Structure 1
Amino acid sequence: MPRPRSLTPDQLASAALAVIDRDGLPGLSMRAVAQELGMSTMGLYRYVHDRDELERLVVELVLNAVDSGPPDPDASWRERIEVMARRLRDTVGAHPAVVPLTITHRHHSLGVLRWSETVTAVLTEAGIEGDRRVIALRGLLGYIIGAIQLEHLGPLSGPGTTAITELPPAEFPHMTETARDARNISADQEFLGGLALLLDGLGA
C-alpha cells in the first residue's frame, strides 16, 4: 500500500523556486530540491517524475501569482494593456532565472492562460482580431519576456554597455553614442518606452 503524500504541489514548487533563486536555473535538480525539503532524492520521486515536472510546477507557481483580473474598464485599451504588461513583468521579474522556463512551459500554465485571456479580450475590444490578434498577443509576450531578461541579465547600465562606449567611435559611431545615452535611461523608462512603440504599431 503506497505511503500517504505529505507534500503539496505548491510546497514542491516553492522548494524548487528557492533553489533556482539561490543557485540559478542550472542548479535545479531532483537532488537539490530534495535537500531543500530535507528528504532523500528517492523520496522526492514519490511526488514528481523528473526535473521537467518540477519546472512545470515552478512556472505554475510563479505565473499563478500574476493578477489576471480585468483592469479598469474606463481606462483606454492601451492603458489596460500597459497594466497587464506591468503585472506580468513585476511578478516574473521577481524571479528572473525562471524566465526561460516560462517560455518552455507557458502553454501548460493556467496563470499565463488567464493573463492571455484578459489581454486578448482587451485587444478584441480595441478592434484587433483574427491574425492581427494572434500576432499582437505573441508580440506582447515576446516583448515582455525579452524585456525581463534584458533588465536582469543585461541591463543598460551594465558592463556590456560600458564596453560598448569604449569601442572606436570612428568604427561604431552610432553604437558608442547610443551606449552613452543608455546610461541615463531607467529600467521603467526602457520597458514602457518599448511597450509604447509596440502598441503604436498595433494602431488600433
Structure 2
Amino acid sequence: MKMTGEIQTTRGRPPRLSRELIVAAALQRNLESLTMRELADYLGVSHGALYRWVESRDELLHLISETLVERVLSVGVLDGTDWRKRIYRLAWAMYNEFRQVRGFATLMVRPHRHNAQAFTRFRDAIIDAFEHSGVNSSMAEQSWYIFIISVMGWISMEESGPDLGGTGARFDVFLGTLIKGLPASEPEEYV
C-alpha cells in the first residue's frame, strides 16, 4: 500500500473515486500547473476513470471553487455583526483558505469562466455586508469589485513569492487600509 499525502492508493484494483476524493487530491497539488493526467496518476487511476467523474479541467476548477467558497463562507459570514467585521472575517477566511491551495488565486485572477454558482454566493455575502454600511446597491457592487480584485491580487502576488519580493509586505496592514477606504463612493472631480 502506498500513501501519497492524504490520498491512499493500492496496487491492483483502483480505489473507488468520488468527486470529494478527486477535489481533495487536487487541493494537494499546484493548481496552476495541474493536468488531468497528473491528477489521475496521483490518484492511481486511469485517465478514463477520472474523466467519468470529472469531464474536464474546467469542471475540476469549478468543483474546487465550490469547496473553497463554502469553506470561506462557513468561517467568514457573521450575520448581524458590524459590516467591517464581516468584510474583515471574509477577507481573512479567503486569505487562509486560498493560500493553502497553491496556484488557486493565480488562476482566479486570470481571465477564465468562473463557477457562477459558487462565486455568486460569495459575491452576495460581500455585497450584503457593504449594503449594511449604508451605501446603495450600486456602490455596494462597486465595493465588491474593489474588494475581490484587491484581495485576490494580493494573494496571487504572494503565491509568486513568500514575501512579495522581500519587501516585508503584510496582509493585515493591507487589509486594514483597504477596509478603511471602503465602501466605495461616487468619485470627486479633481481639477
TM-superposed CA distance for 1:33, in Å, is 0.8
TM-superposed CA distance for 1:8, in Å, is 1.9
- Check whether the contact 2:66–2:115 (CA below 8 A) recurs between aligned residues: no
Q: Does 1:43 align with 2:49?
A: yes
Residue number among 144, 157, 182 corresponding to 1:150 in the alignment: 157
TM-superposed CA distance for 1:193, in Å, is 2.6
> For residues 107 and 139 of structure 1, do their structure 2 counterparts lie closer, same or farther at Cα, with a shift above 3 Å needed?
farther
Tell me what 2:122 maps to. 115
Q: Distance in 2 between matches of 1:61 and 1:132?
A: 29
Q: Distance in 1 between matches of 2:29 and 2:177?
A: 33
Q: Distance in 2 between matches of 1:31 and 1:55?
A: 15
Can you list the C-alpha shifts for 1:50-103, whole angstroms capped at 9, x where unaligned? 222222222222222113564262x43222221222222221122241113334
SS of 2:54's equivalent? coil
TM-superposed CA distance for 1:41, in Å, is 1.5
Tell me what 2:23 maps to. 13
- In structure 1, give the amino acid aligned to 2:122: W
Tell me what 2:101 maps to. 95
1:56-67 map, 5 Å: 56-67=62-73
Task: Give the structure with the larger helix fraction.
Answer: 1
Tell me what 1:124 maps to. 131
Q: Distance in 2 between matches of 1:143 and 1:115?
A: 15
TM-superposed CA distance for 1:39, in Å, is 0.8
Tell me what 2:171 maps to. 187
Alpha carbon RMSD of aligned pairs, Å? Answer: 2.7
SS of 2:73's equivalent? coil
SS of 2:53's equivalent? coil
Tell me what 1:83 maps to. 89
- Check whether the contact 1:10–1:61 (CA below 8 A) recurs between aligned residues: no
SS of 1:95's equivalent? coil
- In structure 2, give the amino acid aligned to 1:196: K
Structure 2 residues not aligned, in runs of 5+ = 1-15, 187-191
- Check whether the contact 2:131–2:137 (CA below 8 A) recurs between aligned residues: no
Number of equivalenced pairs: 169
If you compute each CA radius of gyration, which structure gives the higher value, 1 or 2?
A: 1
TM-superposed CA distance for 1:134, in Å, is 1.7
- TM-score (ref. length: structure 1): 0.69
- TM-score (ref. length: structure 2): 0.73
Q: Percent identity?
A: 24
